Amino acid sequence: MASITLNSIVKKYDDGFPAVNNVSLDIADGEFVILVGPSGCGKSTLLRMIVGLEDITSGELLIDGQRMNEAAPKDRNLAMVFQNYALYPHLTVYENIAFPLRLAKEKNGNGQSNGNGEGSVDDRVQKAAAMLELTEHLDRKPANLSGGQRQRVAMGRAIVREADAFLFDEPLSNLDAKLRGQMRSEIARLQRRLGITSVYVTHDQTEAMTLGDRVAVLKKGLLQQVASPRELYEQPVNLFVAGFIGSPSMNFLPATLKEGSQGAGGTGGAGGAILSSPIGDIPISAEKAAVAQGRELVMIGLRPEYFEDASLVDEAKMARGSVFTAELSHLEWLGHEQYGYIEFEPDERVGRLLSDLASEMDADELRPQVVTTLSAESRVRPGEPAELWVDASRIHIFDPETGENLTRDPEAGAELTRIAAQEREHEIELAAASARSPQNTQNTQDSRSV
C-alpha cells in the first residue's frame, strides 16, 4: 500500500489544451479518493497519468514519496480495474485471477526472478479467492458469473499482484441501476477490508458521495474542492460544486437584499434582513445579510430538503425559517416523500447564468424552477396555492459572477472532513476485526446477494 501525491500536475495534449491544469492532491495510504466531474473535466487523464499510461507535461507524481513521473507503468505497482473488467472469457476464474502472475513469470524467465513459483501462484490465487468469496466459483468461466462476481474476479486479479493501489476507471458505468447499487457497497466493503489506497473515477455523484473518504471535484481540468462528501454537500466552495453534488440538485435563485430591511430580525440572532427572491421574501441572519450587503444581486442556494409543507413543521423548527405561498406546477409522489416543483420567470441575466452553469455541469438545461422535497403525508396540490416553509438558516449565498460561496464556513467544513477521517479509521478497524472472526465471515457469505 502506498500514498500518492500529485504536485501541480499539468497535462497538455498535442493541441496545447490543458486537460489537467495544475492539480495538487495528497492521497493518504489506505484512503479511498474519488475523482468526479462532468465529461471532459480531465478525471480519466489524471488517472491515466498516475498509472503511467499518459505522460505528465509538468508537475510531479510521487508514490510513497518517490518521484514516479518517468517510471514505466509496470514499475509503479498499481492495479487498474476497468469498466468492462477485461476478463478472458475462455479462462476459468482461477486462471483469470492467476493471469498477471503467470505473465510476470514468463517475463521474468520461468518464474525464478520474482520468487513466484507455481506454489506461490496457487497460494495467492486461493487467498484472493477466499477474501473475495470466490472459492466455490474458481472452476467457472466469466460468462456464467453475475456482474458482481465478475467485478470481484477483476479485483482478484489486482489483489494477487499485491499492488500498492487500486485505480478504478468508471467500473460500474455499464451496469444497470440495481446492480450498480449492489456493486457500490461491494467495492466499499472490499476497500475497507483490504485497506488499500484507491482512486476511483466517476461522473456519477451518487458513487462519489457513497464511496469516497474524500472526493475531488474537477471542472475543465481545474480542481474545485477536495473534501469529505459531507463537507462538499454542506459547505461547497462555489456554485459549481453546490450544483454538481446532490440529487435533486441545489436550487439556485436570484435574490436582492431588501432596502431598509436590516434589523428585520431574521433567523440566527438579532438584526437580520430580508432577501427578496422569486419565491417571496426570505428573512436571513445579520451574518448572512452582511455578505449580500452592497451587492446588486446574489444567487441563493436552497437544497430541496430545506423546504416542507408549512402545516407539517413543528414550532421549534418553524422559527428557523419562513413561510411563503407558492403554486406548485407539478408534484411527484415517490412513496417516502414527494417532489413539488415551483416555476419562476428569470430575467435575462439570471437566465444566462443558469444556462452557463448547466453547460458547465454537463447537465440538461437548468430550468428556472425550485424543486422542494415534501413529506409523503403532505396534501398540497399542484395548481393551488400551497403554504410552504423554507429553512432560511441553511441558505447559501453565492457571488453570481465568480460563483464563490460567500456564506461558506471553512472551519465547520474542515471539522466535517476530520470527523469523516475518524469514522474511516473506525470502519477499517471494524473491517479488520470482522475479517478475523470466522463467525462474521460466515454471516457475510450467507447474506451475499451478488
Q: By the criterion CB under 6 A, which residues form the site for ligand ATP?
A: 13, 15, 19, 37, 39-45, 203
Which residues lie across from 61 on neighbouring strands? 6
Instruction: Report helix angle 177-194 to 410-436, nearest 10.
Output: 80
What minimum distance in Å lies between the beta carbon of 61 and ligand ATP?
16
Spatial distance between the Cα atoms of 227 and 233, rounded to a whole number of angstroms: 9
Nearer to ligand ATP, 363 or 432 (CB): 363
In 3D space, the residue among 361, 390, 362, 371 whose CA is nearest the CA of residue 238 turns out to be 361
Instruction: Find the shortest distance in angstroms from Cβ 4 to ligand ATP.
Output: 17
DSSP conformational letter for 95: H
- CA–CA dist 54, 48 (Å, integer): 5
Residue with smaller CB distance to ligand ATP, 36 or 326: 36
Minimum distance from CB of 25 to ligand ATP (Å)? Answer: 15
**For ligand ATP, the closer CB: 49 or 190:** 49
CB-nearer residue toward ligand ATP: 43 or 424: 43
Taking the C-alpha atoms of residue 123 and residue 130, their distance in angstroms, rounded to an integer, is 11
Residue 256 neighbours by CB under 8 Å, 6+ apart: 275, 276, 292, 296, 297, 298
Specify the amino acid at residue 161.
Answer: R
Nearer to ligand ATP, 226 or 386 (CB): 226
Q: Tell me the closest approach of the beta carbon of residue 168 to ligand ATP, in angstroms.
A: 13
Round to whole Å and give the CA distance between 132 and 124.
12
Look up residue 371 and give its three cell numbers: 424543486
Q: Please, are residues 126 and 132 in contact by the beta-carbon 8 Å criterion?
A: no
* Rounded distance between C-alpha atoms, residue 423 and residue 417, angstroms: 10
Smallest distance, ligand ATP to C-beta of residue 83, A = 10
Strand order in the sheet with 337-343: 330-333, 337-343, 369-375
Cite the beta strand spans of 30-97 per DSSP E: 32-36, 58-63, 66-67, 78-81
Instruction: Read off the DSSP letter of residue 200.
Output: E
At closest approach, how far in Å is the CB of 45 from ligand ATP?
A: 3
Nearer to ligand ATP, 221 or 368 (CB): 221
Closer residue to ligand ATP (CB): 19 or 273: 19
Compute the least distance from the CB of residue 236 to ligand ATP, in Å: 19
Give the residue with the Cβ less far from ligand ATP, 84 or 108: 84
Q: How far is residue 126's CA from residue 83's CA, in Å, rounded to a whole number?
A: 25
CB of 37 to ligand ATP, least distance (A): 6
